[in-house]
Amino acid sequence: MYLIELQDLVKSYGTVKALNGLSLKVPTGSLFGLLGPNGSGKTTTLRILCTLLSPDSGKASVAGLDVVKDPRSVRREIGYVAQEVAIDKILTGFELLQLQGDLYHLEPKDRNLRIAELIEKLEMQSWINRRCGTYSGGMRRRLDLASGLLHRPQLLVLDEPTVGLDIESRTAIWQLLLDLKSQGTTVLISSHYLEEVEALADQMAILDKGRVIAEGKPEDLKERLGGDRVTLKVREFSNENESEKVRNLLVNVRGVRQVVVNCVQGFSLNLVVDDESVLPRLREALDRSKIQLFALSHSRASLDDVYLQATGRTLMDAELAASNQRDVKLENKQAMR
């Protein structure tokens, strides 16, 4: 059973196609990770899901309810923790939770019990009666989580929930999400951190340029890709000619499936090999041609490789390239209602 079904979503901002035919199914009860670099369309997808934005075309439903036709029913099912959550600096955290409870029409008695429960669970006792303006990033995020959970939604949606947080807050939030999942809540998070998705998600999709380029269980995605990964350098900063020469040498080594010259990372070589038994043969081949080895590392296929395979660049490179180009202030201004 799928709690969320997205079909062929298209959304443009002016000339920018943020979503370009995105389709996705999120199984009920899963902790689903939406992995993608900056600008790949994660926030746009989640905003459509939470009825803040309507798609140009395509369909989106939550628990069988169409987000465009029946937005109010959809809102009741979702707890949404946005990327940059606005809080009212003048209110205390407690007052904000009360407001939230009233906006979701909780009975006042039930509302107060639920607030008390969440204050304890998220360890907010010592500061919840202070004004929100004084909170640290970690406190704010915990308050956001509490407001998202207040009405006991069957779906919790979090947009990059641990960006900019210290490790302690991050682990606390991870633990909470895992607990929620084990209690049956479906959790959908977006992230550009591989580690986050690896650590949490039991189902995932990789987004690039407004489309899903891979979908499934993280292990399956890696398995399907197959092979081990080797990164190799003959000099700290090599040049294209030299790397091409080495590449031509190595493609013929037995057990090497693919060699890519990575021009972003100082022309290092990225290899896909059968397994670690190939490593000695690589060294041998270089020795024979009198080529010194500067560095070599070996690893199992990772989610980054899944991304690399599909897009020809690493997640990190895509992230860096995109974040330089975006004018977030302007986007916020344009997204204002």
Chain positions contacting ligand ADP, by CB under 6 A: 13, 16, 18, 36, 38-44, 326, 331, 334-335
Q: Please name the residues in contact with 271: beta carbons below 8 A apart, sequence gap of 6 or more.
A: 229, 230, 231, 232, 250, 256, 257, 258, 259, 260, 282
Tell me the residue type at 303.
L
- Nearer to another protein by Cβ, of 98 and 268: the residue is 98
How much of the chain is helix, strand and coil, in % rounded to 5?
A: 40, 25, 30
Note the residues at the interface with another protein (CB under 8 A): 50-52, 69-70, 72-73, 75-76, 78, 80, 82, 84-88, 90-91, 95, 98-100, 102-105, 131, 147, 332-333, 336-337
The Cα 98–Cα 85 span in angstroms is 17
State the minimum distance, in angstroms, from the CB of residue 327 to Mg ion: 14
State the minimum distance, in angstroms, from the CB of residue 153 to another protein: 10
State the minimum distance, in angstroms, from the CB of residue 323 to Mg ion: 11
The Cα 258–Cα 256 span in angstroms is 6
State the minimum distance, in angstroms, from the CB of residue 36 to ligand ADP: 5
Q: 18 is in the binding site of which of another protein, Mg ion, ligand ADP, none (Cβ under 5 to 8 A by kind)? A: ligand ADP
State the minimum distance, in angstroms, from the CB of residue 244 to another protein: 50
243 is an interface residue for Mg ion by CB under 5 A: no
- Nearer to Mg ion by Cβ, of 254 and 326: the residue is 326
- Nearer to another protein by Cβ, of 27 and 133: the residue is 133
- Token readout for 305 is 């490789």
Cα-to-chain-centroid distance, residue 289: 43
- Token readout for 211 is 């489309």
- Nearer to another protein by Cβ, of 29 and 79: the residue is 79
The Cα 89–Cα 137 span in angstroms is 13
- Nearer to another protein by Cβ, of 290 and 337: the residue is 337
- Nearer to another protein by Cβ, of 1 and 336: the residue is 336
Q: 70 is in the binding site of which of Mg ion, ligand ADP, another protein, none (Cβ under 5 to 8 A by kind)? A: another protein
State the minimum distance, in angstroms, from the CB of residue 171 to ligand ADP: 23
Report the candidate in 230, 202, 189 with the shortest Cα–Cα distance to residue 46. Answer: 189
Q: 85 is in the binding site of which of another protein, ligand ADP, Mg ion, none (Cβ under 5 to 8 A by kind)? A: another protein
Q: Which stretch binds Mg ion (CB under 5 A): 39-47, 116-124, 146-154, 179-187?
A: 39-47
Report the candidate in 244, 267, 269, 245 with the shortest Cα–Cα distance to residue 256. Answer: 269
43 is an interface residue for Mg ion by CB under 5 A: yes
CB atoms within 10 A of CB 80: 22
Q: Which segments of the chain are extended strands (E)?
A: 2-13, 16-27, 31-35, 57-62, 65-66, 78-81, 155-159, 186-191, 203-208, 211-216, 228-233, 256-262, 268-273, 295-300
Cα-to-chain-centroid distance, residue 300: 21
State the minimum distance, in angstroms, from the CB of residue 198 to another protein: 29
User: Where on the chain is the footprint of Mg ion (CB under 5 A)?
Assistant: 42-43
